[in-house]
Structure 1
Amino acid sequence: MRTEQQSTPSSSVEESASATQGTTGATLDKTSSTTAEETSKQARVAVLPAKLPENSRAARAQRLNDMPEEPTRGVYYKVPHKLSQPTGWRTKRHLKRRNLHLSNLRYLATERLGTRGAMLPLASAILAIAVISATILVAISVLADATNQRYGQQVLTLQDILPKDNLKIYDSRGSMIYQATDAGLQTTVPLSKISPHLVNAEVAIEDQYFWKNPGFDITGLVRAALEDVTHGHILSGGSTLTQQLIKQNIVGDQVSMTRKLQELIIAPDITRRFTKEQIMEMYLNTTFYGEQAYGAEAAAFTYFGLQDTPTKTAAQQLDIAQAAMLAGIPSSPFGRDPYLHPKAAFARVQEVLRQMYLQGYITNQERLQAINEVQQPNFLKHGVIKNDSAPHFVNYTLNELARDLHVKVSDLSRSGLIVNTTLDLNLQNRVLKDAQKHIAEIAQAHHVTNAAEVVIDFHTGAILTMLGNIDPNNPRDGAFDVASQGLRQPGSAFKPFIYATAFEHGVSPGAPVLDGPLTIQMCCGLPAYTPHNYDMSYHGLITYRYALQNSFNIPAVKLMMQTGVDASLKMAQDLGISAYNGTPNYTMVLGSLGVHLLDMTSAYGTFANGGVHIPPHTISTVKDVHGKTIFQFNDPGKRVLSKQAAFMVTNVLSDNTSRSFEFTKCSALYLYSTSQSQCYAGNTGPVRPAAAKTGTSNDFRDNLTMGYTTDYVVGVWAGNNDNSPMVDVTGVDGAGPIWHDTMMMVEQGKPIRNFANPSGVVKKTVSYPGITTTDWYIQK
């Protein structure tokens, strides 16, 4: 009976429609005309859409209508068409309805007969489901307990176990001179310093209910499962941002059901212990964006060349298009790398922008503008890391840092440390250019190809400049740091260490010494040693002051015979010589031992510092990513030489009159403020007191100029990387001009001060056999 009531109206409608078709073209009667007018009036009434909450699913669905529709395929022509229904369709419809009626009758009969027989299987199925459900619940409970026991501590300390930033090193003025890249780039910044566009893009494409869900999204899991089943392989994981954070930093990324369940177990705990803002900040600072970039800050630099400004971080400068590009990468860092797979990356960007629009984060106009921006040829700009501004200084700093922290250099790459150094990069660049200029001027005539230089503030031991090579980018030997790694013979620059030993034991610079022929009989069958002066002459009875300033060899060897080899070597080591090669003997006073330029400079700094040695260092402070200081250099130094003996060395080395015999009165060791020609004409201008000594090794293989003022100590080496001999160039001609210029640079703007005279020394005139001198003596 119910079937007949349903079918009757349907037949009437169809017959009415058929009758209407049969009367097409006939004149409408008055009643039909009136009905048409009423229908037209109703059609003109405006229909307004319902007011919906902005972020509701219905509103997002309604915004789908705003998306431009795809054009209908094919072309419509205004010509007669075929009949809307094929011939015989009414007969087919009648047969279909009859068969449906018979099928319903058979179903009712079967249902009445099978109700009792089906109850038992149904009950068995329900019981089986209950048992399976109970088993699953027990298994999940056990897994939950095991997961909490295994990862509970990591959940509590999640912020502390996140991957550390890459190591960064800065000069004394805050300019970055190095960052470790071998283990990837990462720079942690607060969420407030990350573009909100990136936050919105990540939420839109990865976890649209992030701000409300408990750490997991059941609808997302179901949707991902359906997609995986449909495609026959894992297409998407349905993980929330919280789950991704857990996967990356706690449970690992192994593809398994157990790992997935562990994520679901831990996610609510993470959500309870941390705010959504903290979770988002941790995610955006550590997630992998490909190209060795971890976190938003590194990704902004890597893909768009953005760098921090005084007011904004690189991540804070990301616009909508850039944010959409980055947000599309983490789900497939290699497959959607815009440098490697631009088409896949562009398709993903479009999907991210579409979701941002549908979820109300951007307007449709902003979506279209972003798509247009992504297609511009200069949209991507690979950030370039510059680690070559001070390579030798950086290498020394890395080794010093590893030594101070008692770790390996390889452990520092992702240590998260921020190292502030003593380097004055501006000064080092000026020093480098000056050294290159001087070496170029004498390179061809004297076969000189390289120089090294060290500038130290001896009051603190801070290394302001360490130039290990004037051609650091040379692929053959530019990486070799002569200043801290090379062991080169210092020549006569080593003599002040022996003189200091003698002065410490009461010898006065005014004491006489005979500069004449000398032969020393050696033990153990070795041949006798006969030293000679550089000018191959003898100068008779002279003072030690005169002998040191003019770098005579024979008086220096005689003095060492008094002090002894062991005592002299110990003095050199106490002053700052940390390593050497060669055999210590009487020849070492002439510079036969190979030493580091850095050590030589530090040792001369001990003279300048009144006999107190402060170890040279490049590190001022070391901080973690939170700004906490974990290391700070604080070494007051150690007294290794009396103030009186140190003063005597300084007084002799700063006596320009005494060295005029060998070096002339306007040599590079004299810090006059005019030109050299004006100096020789008598116009020196203001003269800055400086103590200096040169040294030249055998065969002109190395030459040095060492010296200091009341502010800084500077050491310069000139020579060749392959240790080949130079041609007729001494310390005052090769290294001297570079030393002079550097001293004038570093002292620019500082007041001129003389070396202080400590108590405990007295100046007196003493008559010796054959000579009367006036000089300094230590009071007993």
Structure 2
Amino acid sequence: MQTDRHVGENPPPPPGGGSGSQRAEGSQPRHRMPASLPPHSQAAVAQRMNDVPMRPVPGIFYTGSHQSIHPTGWRLRRHIKRKNLRQTLNTIALSDRIGTGTLLPMAASLFSVFLIMVLIFVTVVGFINATHERFGDKITTLEDILPKDSTRIYDVHGKLIFQMMDQGLQTSEPLDKISPHLAHAEIAIEDQNFYKNPGYDITGILRAAISDMTTNKVVSGGSTITQQLIKNSIVGNQATMLRKLQEVILAPDISHYYTKEQILQMYLNTTYYGERCYGAEEAALAYFGLKDTPTQTAAQQLDIAQSAMLAGIPSSPIARDPFLHPKAAAIRMQEVLQQMYNQGYITAQERADAIMESQKPNFIKHRGFVNNRIAPHFVNYTLRELADDLHVKISDLSRAGLVVMTTLDLDLQNKVLKTAQKHIAEMARVHNMSNAAVVVLDQHTGAIRTLVGNIDPDNPTYGDFDVASQGYRQPGSSFKPYIYATAFDEGISPGETVLDGPLTIQMCCGLPSYSPHNYDERFHGWVSYRYALQNSFNIPAVKLLLRTGVDKALHTAQSMGLTTYEGIPNYTMVLGSLSVHLIDNTAGYATFANGGVRVPPHAINTIKDQNGKLILQITPQPVRVLRKETAFMITDVLSDNDSRIYEFGKCSSLVLYKTTMNQCYAGRPGPIRPSAAKTGTSNDFRDNWTMGYTTDVTVGVWAGNNDNSPMVNVTGVDGAGPIWHDTMLLAEKGQPIRLFPGPPDTLVRKTATYPGKTTTDWHLK
């Protein structure tokens, strides 16, 4: 093919040379270079304008063959395929639009539902785990954490004297000591599938839920007996769905750890039956007046009618209280009987008989007031001691399930109380005496056999006040033996003499001087300490305190039992200026009686739980605080009735004869029991005391007025003395008469001459 020449190229030179070209013969031809134009000149620009390419010819030019390579009809088929493809693509696009608008929200909704279900599942599992974690330990220890019985206090003979009731009354009994009729009645009305269900009843829960939703309030619990036990002992009784779920979660665990009999026993002993009664035993007492017999408990005596009545109460203890709402209680009782009949626990005849029984006038018998005032002051003392022994507050003892056996002899206490009341009544009008307190101690064990803190415990003004253990009263001359014991312990003999004469003591710190006087306002010259103590002379006692010192004498009193006092210790304390508790003063004399060995007084013998397991047995530790020689000399002096005849006479109330005083003075005293005693009278006759002991017991008596007002011309021997005398005879009734122990080997009885007198008495070797 011919190659196109670009426009503007220089043509080849013409053959034979061109015009104007001179070439010498025989010379080589000369090449010419075309003239070049400056690239930016107008000529060059004009020349380049012709360089535009030619417009292409329309159509496609193929260098190859133009023969068709596709079979006939191919284009039609391709058109149809493309049409179908467009329809398919349109269908897909439509489906995508439908999926985006409809299926995607549906999928999102399904995912949301799934997510919510997962969250609910996780929440439920978490709640179940949290419930088990929180209450799991309580399941295995359910019997320990159940509400315990009311703490009960008994006297030494096993007679109930007090039952704490500020948090309700409960006395648990084993299942075989509870009437089976009550068990059947409770199951029939509360949980008819009790022996079959796992602790909860889905049918009952649904029925209760429908009832609650219908009334728009909680009217039915749907709880099984197991759930009610859980509510009462573990999760609480709040009326919430959360609490109900916790019951359902924990119920199978309870059924796993305990038998149905154990669950039923726990329920029947702790469920609330109204009238402050928890459990079948207290309910039987409260509603039907049933009492324990040697062979049956009160709960064991419940018949069908009584059981049906009680079983109807727990679901609404106030609204179905037979005392408050007898009609509602009767209706509920018939519902219980009907369920018992339907479930085969009773026959139709038994149901009819029970209804007839319930309609009798005396079907419900209120047991009346719970008498906790049998020995109120002793009980209060016991509660304080109990709280101290267990290191708790008294309020924590109410439902502690404790059975406390005390040292109290209730029969003796009642007799002593009557004796004190009788004597005070005789003295009240003439001598303005209105009250007395009495303590009887066993000096060998420290047991408090009697504690009368007030002769009128039911008095609304002062009846609750316990003078014996809470009142501070001045002991008068009954304090003197502590000073004498201090002196005897230092080697002074009871036979040593002292001048009973005028005495003035210069007091320190600007206080006026002190001049003691005897009660009879007389001086008695040289007297022995034995004689001075027995006749309660004041001046010799003050002089003896000057020898021993206030601190030593006070220490002696405190070590012997005076745990606390009011007042300032000084030389006047020998005359009883310090105020003390009667029980402390009695404990001090009990130390004399026990040969110088102090045994702290106590009101409790044993503490057991409601199942009879021993928690604590009180065994006070004896401590020697006085030499046995000293204790013997004090006893020998205080029991020397001949030495006190001058002040008290031969047949005073300090002498334990069994006949009357007149018969005693007539020479017919009868058998006389040896005793050691000391009286005391505070200033202005505000307090009368008589303290003393035998070989068996120590008795302390205070007499006076609650407001501490003066009595009229009455001393200890006349005021408190007769009560002490009669109390001693009551306490010693039936006991053999025994002499006090003889002197220790370290004492010798010898005659010695002292200023003013020659005496024969005991001396330390």
The normalised TM-score by structure 2 is: 0.84
The equivalent residue for 1:296 is 280
Answer yes or no: is the 8 Å Cα contact 2:438–2:701 preserved in 1.
yes
The equivalent residue for 1:451 is 436
Amino acid aligned to 1:555? P
The equivalent residue for 1:762 is 748
Q: CA deviation at 1:349?
A: 0.6
Amino acid aligned to 2:223? S
Does 2:456 match 1:465?
no
Answer yes or no: is the 8 Å Cα contact 2:654–2:677 preserved in 1.
yes
Match of 2:326 among 342, 345, 348: 342
Q: Distance in 1 between matches of 2:682 and 2:215?
A: 78
Larger Rg: 2
Q: Distance in 2 between matches of 1:426 and 1:318?
A: 32
| Deviations, residues 383-407 of structure 1 (Å, cap 9, x unaligned) | 2311001011111111111111111
Answer yes or no: is the 8 Å Cα contact 2:186–2:311 preserved in 1.
yes
Q: SS state of the match for residue 669, structure 1?
A: coil
Over aligned residues, Cα RMSD in angstroms? 2.0
Could you tell me which runs of 5 or more consecutive residues in structure 2 were left unpaired when the two chains were aligned.
1-105
The equivalent residue for 1:271 is 255
Q: Distance in 2 between matches of 1:718 and 1:348?
A: 58
The equivalent residue for 2:229 is 245
| Pairing of 1:173-188 with structure 2 (within 5 A) | 173-188=157-172
| Deviations, residues 691-721 of structure 1 (Å, cap 9, x unaligned) | 0001111111111000000000000111111
Match of 2:678 among 685, 693, 699: 693
With 679-688 and 643-652 compared, the bigger mean Cα shift is at: 679-688
Report the CA distance shift for 1:125/1:451 in structure 2 as closer, same or farther (over 3 A): same
Q: Distance in 2 between matches of 1:486 and 1:258?
A: 54
Match of 1:570 among 555, 560, 567: 555
| Pairing of 1:586-597 with structure 2 (within 5 A) | 586-597=571-582
| Deviations, residues 333-375 of structure 1 (Å, cap 9, x unaligned) | 2221222222221111110011111111112122122112222
Match of 1:225 among 198, 209, 220: 209
Q: SS state of the match for residue 339, structure 2?
A: helix
Match of 1:727 among 696, 712, 722: 712
The equivalent residue for 1:669 is 654
The equivalent residue for 1:778 is 764
Q: Distance in 2 between matches of 1:181 and 1:565?
A: 48
Q: CA deviation at 1:275?
A: 0.3
Q: SS state of the match for residue 418, structure 1?
A: strand
| Deviations, residues 89-108 of structure 1 (Å, cap 9, x unaligned) | xxxxxxxxxxxxxxxxxxxx
Match of 1:282 among 245, 254, 266: 266
The equivalent residue for 2:507 is 522
Q: CA deviation at 1:232?
A: 4.3
Q: CA deviation at 1:501?
A: 0.3
Q: CA deviation at 1:304?
A: 2.0
Q: Distance in 1 between matches of 2:383 and 2:761?
A: 47
| Deviations, residues 52-80 of structure 1 (Å, cap 9, x unaligned) | xxxxxxxxxxxxxxxxxxxxxxxxxxxxx
The equivalent residue for 2:173 is 189
Q: SS state of the match for residue 763, structure 1?
A: strand
Answer yes or no: is the 8 Å Cα contact 2:526–2:755 preserved in 1.
no
The equivalent residue for 1:625 is 610
Q: Distance in 2 between matches of 1:310 and 1:491?
A: 51
Q: CA deviation at 1:230?
A: 4.2
Q: Distance in 1 between matches of 2:108 and 2:517?
A: 113
Does 2:242 match 1:262?
no
Amino acid aligned to 1:263? E
Report the CA distance shift for 1:361/1:464 in structure 2 as closer, same or farther (over 3 A): same
Does 2:196 match 1:212?
yes
Does 2:144 match 1:160?
yes
The equivalent residue for 2:664 is 679
Q: SS state of the match for residue 499, structure 1?
A: helix
Amino acid aligned to 1:424? D
Could you tell me which runs of 5 or more consecutive residues in structure 1 were left unpaired when the two chains were aligned.
1-121
| Deviations, residues 191-240 of structure 1 (Å, cap 9, x unaligned) | 11111111000000001111122112222223333433444443322211
Q: Distance in 2 between matches of 1:605 and 1:707?
A: 8
Q: SS state of the match for residue 494, structure 1?
A: helix
The equivalent residue for 1:407 is 392
With 626-635 and 166-175 compared, the bigger mean Cα shift is at: 626-635
| Pairing of 1:282-431 with structure 2 (within 5 A) | 282-383=266-367, 384-431=369-416
Answer yes or no: is the 8 Å Cα contact 2:289–2:366 preserved in 1.
yes
Answer yes or no: is the 8 Å Cα contact 2:576–2:682 preserved in 1.
yes
With 336-345 and 556-565 compared, the bigger mean Cα shift is at: 336-345
Report the CA distance shift for 1:661/1:221 in structure 2 as closer, same or farther (over 3 A): same
Amino acid aligned to 1:621? T
Q: CA deviation at 1:441?
A: 1.1
Amino acid aligned to 1:312? Q
Match of 1:489 among 456, 471, 474: 474
| Deviations, residues 655-704 of structure 1 (Å, cap 9, x unaligned) | 00000111111111011222222221222222111000011111111110
With 461-470 and 757-766 compared, the bigger mean Cα shift is at: 757-766
Answer yes or no: is the 8 Å Cα contact 2:478–2:678 preserved in 1.
yes
| Pairing of 1:145-156 with structure 2 (within 5 A) | 145-156=129-140
Amino acid aligned to 1:707? G
The count of residues paired between Structure 1 and Structure 2 equals 659
Amino acid aligned to 1:503? F
Q: CA deviation at 1:626?
A: 1.7
Q: SS state of the match for residue 468, structure 2?
A: coil
Answer yes or no: is the 8 Å Cα contact 2:468–2:581 preserved in 1.
yes
Answer yes or no: is the 8 Å Cα contact 2:289–2:365 preserved in 1.
yes
Q: Distance in 1 between matches of 2:689 and 2:214?
A: 78
Q: Distance in 1 between matches of 2:285 and 2:422?
A: 36
| Deviations, residues 304-325 of structure 1 (Å, cap 9, x unaligned) | 2222222221211111111111
The normalised TM-score by structure 1 is: 0.82
Report the CA distance shift for 1:683/1:324 in structure 2 as closer, same or farther (over 3 A): same
Match of 1:544 among 526, 529, 538: 529
Q: Distance in 2 between matches of 1:677 and 1:503?
A: 37
Report the CA distance shift for 1:523/1:228 in structure 2 as closer, same or farther (over 3 A): closer
Report the CA distance shift for 1:769/1:218 in structure 2 as closer, same or farther (over 3 A): closer
Amino acid aligned to 2:355? I
Amino acid aligned to 2:583? L
Report sequence identity in percent. 67
Amino acid aligned to 2:152? K
Amino acid aligned to 2:255? T
Q: Distance in 1 between matches of 2:710 and 2:308?
A: 62
Q: CA deviation at 1:377?
A: 2.6
Does 2:468 match 1:476?
no
Q: Distance in 2 between matches of 1:184 and 1:238?
A: 26
Q: Distance in 2 between matches of 1:378 and 1:759?
A: 73
| Deviations, residues 554-588 of structure 1 (Å, cap 9, x unaligned) | 11111111001111111111111111111111111
Amino acid aligned to 2:186? E
The equivalent residue for 1:638 is 623
Q: CA deviation at 1:770?
A: 3.0
Q: CA deviation at 1:133?
A: 6.9
With 297-306 and 731-740 compared, the bigger mean Cα shift is at: 297-306
Amino acid aligned to 2:353? Q
Report the CA distance shift for 1:346/1:125 in structure 2 as closer, same or farther (over 3 A): farther
Q: CA deviation at 1:252?
A: 2.2
Report the CA distance shift for 1:280/1:640 in structure 2 as closer, same or farther (over 3 A): same
